Amino acid sequence: MSNQALPQSALPDARVNSGRASELFDWIDRNLPFVFNIPTVVFLVGLVAFPVGLVIVTSFSDWQLITNQEASAVGLDNYIMVWTDERWLGAIWHTFYYAGATVFGQLILGMATALLFNRSFAGKSFYRSIWMMPMIAMSTAISLVWILFFDNAYGVLNYSLEQFGIGPVEWTSSPEWAMPSLIMVGIWHHTPFMTLILLAGLQSLPTDPFEAARIDGASRWQVLMHITLPLMQGHIIVALILRSIFAVKEFDTILAITEGGPRYATETMNMNIYINAFEYGYMGEAAAKGVLFFGFILLIQVALVKLRKRQWSH
Amino acid sequence: MKLGKIVPAGLLAMAVGTAPAAAEEVNWRQFEGTSLNILGFAVGYIDAWFRPMAKQFEEETGITVRLEVLQAGQMRKKQDIMLAGEDETLDVIMLQMDNRGGKLTLAGHLEPLEAYLADPSLTPADFNYPDDWLGGCLNTVKVIKGQPLNNMVWSAQAQLLHIRTDLFKKYGVKVPTTMEELEDAAKKLTIDEDGDGKPEIYGFLSRGHGRLTTASFASYLFNFGGSWFKDNPDGTRSSNINSEESVDAFVFYGRMIRDYAPTSALNNKPPQNAALYAAGKVAMLSALNFWHSLADDPKKSRIAGNTTTILVPAGRAGSFPNLPTTSLAISKHSEKKKAAWLYIAWMTQKRIMLNGQNAAVPMCRRSVWNDPSYSAPTPAWGKSAELAADFGIAIAKPQAIAIGQMRDAAGEVMNVAIRDGSRAAIQAEADKQAAFMDGLIAKTEKGVDFAGVLPAFAKKLTMKDQLIPIEAEGLN
User: Both ends of chain B: CA-CA distance in Å?
Assistant: 74
Q: What is the mean predicted confidence (pLDDT) over B314-337?
A: 94
User: What confidence score (pLDDT) does residue A303 get?
Assistant: 86
Q: From CA B432, how far away is CA A270, in angstroms rounded?
A: 26
Q: For residue A48, is it within any domain? A: yes
User: What confidence score (pLDDT) does residue B455 get?
Assistant: 54
* Per-10-residue mean pLDDT, chain A, length 314: 48 65 88 89 90 95 85 94 95 96 96 94 92 92 94 91 89 93 96 95 93 92 93 90 91 94 93 94 95 91 81 66
A39 in the same domain as A136: no
The DSSP code for B239 is: E
Q: For residue A223, is it within any domain? A: yes
Distance from CA of B417 to the nearest CA of A (A): 12
Give the mean pLDDT of chain B.
90
A133 in the same domain as A7: no
Q: For residue A66, is it within any domain? A: no
A95 in the same domain as A47: no
For residue B401, list chain A residues with Cβ-Cβ distance below 8 A: 67
- Report the DSSP beta bridge partners of residue A48: none
Q: Which of A65, A150, A154 sits opposite B80 (nearest CB)?
A: A65
B3: confidence class by pLDDT, cuts 50, 70, 90: very low
- For residue A159, the chain B residue with the least C-alpha distance is B198
Q: What is the residue range of A98's domain?
A: 78-313
Q: From CA B250, how far away is CA A68, in angstroms rounded?
A: 33
User: What confidence score (pLDDT) does residue B133 get?
Assistant: 95
User: What confidence score (pLDDT) does residue B16 get?
Assistant: 38
The DSSP code for B306 is: S
Residue B54's Cβ-side half-sphere holds a number of Cα atoms within 13 Å equal to: 20
A34 shares contact with chain B (CB less than 8 Å): no
For residue A154, list chain B residues with Cβ-Cβ distance below 8 A: 262, 264
Q: Do B108 and A170 touch (CB under 8 A)?
A: no
User: Where do the DSSP E strands lie in B263-398?
Assistant: 284-288, 307-310, 326-330
Note the helical H segments in B140-239: 165-170, 179-188, 213-223
A202 in the same domain as A160: yes
Q: What is the mean predicted confidence (pLDDT) over B209-234?
A: 91
How big is the CA angle at A9 (ends A3 and A12), to the nearest 5 degrees?
70
A280 shares contact with chain B (CB less than 8 Å): yes
At residue B328, does pLDDT exceed 50?
A: yes
For residue B103, list chain A residues with Cβ-Cβ distance below 8 A: 66-67
At residue B254, does pLDDT exceed 90?
A: yes
User: Where do the DSSP E strands lie in B96-228?
Assistant: 152-155, 159-164
At residue B456, does pLDDT exceed 80?
A: no
Q: For residue A112, is it within any domain? A: yes
From the list B203, B228, B213, the residue with the least C-alpha distance to B416 is B213
Distance from CA of B288 to the nearest CA of A (A): 23
Q: Which of A153, A259, A280 sits opposite B402 (nearest CB)?
A: A280
A84 shares contact with chain B (CB less than 8 Å): no
A278 in the same domain as A144: yes
A196 in the same domain as A125: yes
Q: What is the mean predicted confidence (pLDDT) over B427-453?
A: 87
A96 in the same domain as A26: no
Total domain count for chain A? 2
Q: For residue A68, is it within any domain? A: no
A279 shares contact with chain B (CB less than 8 Å): yes
B165 shares contact with chain A (CB less than 8 Å): no
| Cα–Cα distances in angstroms (integers) from residue A271 to residues A140, A150, A287, B61, B146, in the given order | 15, 21, 13, 44, 37
Q: For residue A295, is it within any domain? A: yes
| % of chain B with per-residue pLDDT over 70 | 93
At residue B173, does pLDDT exceed 50?
A: yes
A138 in the same domain as A39: no
- The predicted-structure confidence for B410-426, as pLDDT tens digits, reads as follows 999 999 999 989 999 99
For residue B444, list chain A residues with Cβ-Cβ distance below 8 A: 67
Distance from CA of B402 to the nearest CA of A (A): 7
All structural domains of chain B, each given as residue ranges with its CATH number in brackets, are: 35-155+324-378 (3.40.190.10), 159-320+400-449 (3.40.190.10)
A278 in the same domain as A184: yes
A185 in the same domain as A37: no
Distance from CA of B26 to the nearest CA of A (A): 35
A163 in the same domain as A287: yes
Look at A50-59, B231-240, B376-385 and tell me which has the smallest mean pLDDT: B231-240
At residue B6, does pLDDT exceed 80?
A: no
Q: For residue A205, is it within any domain? A: yes
A152 in the same domain as A19: no
The domain spanning residue A207 has which CATH number?
1.10.3720.10
B12: confidence class by pLDDT, cuts 50, 70, 90: very low
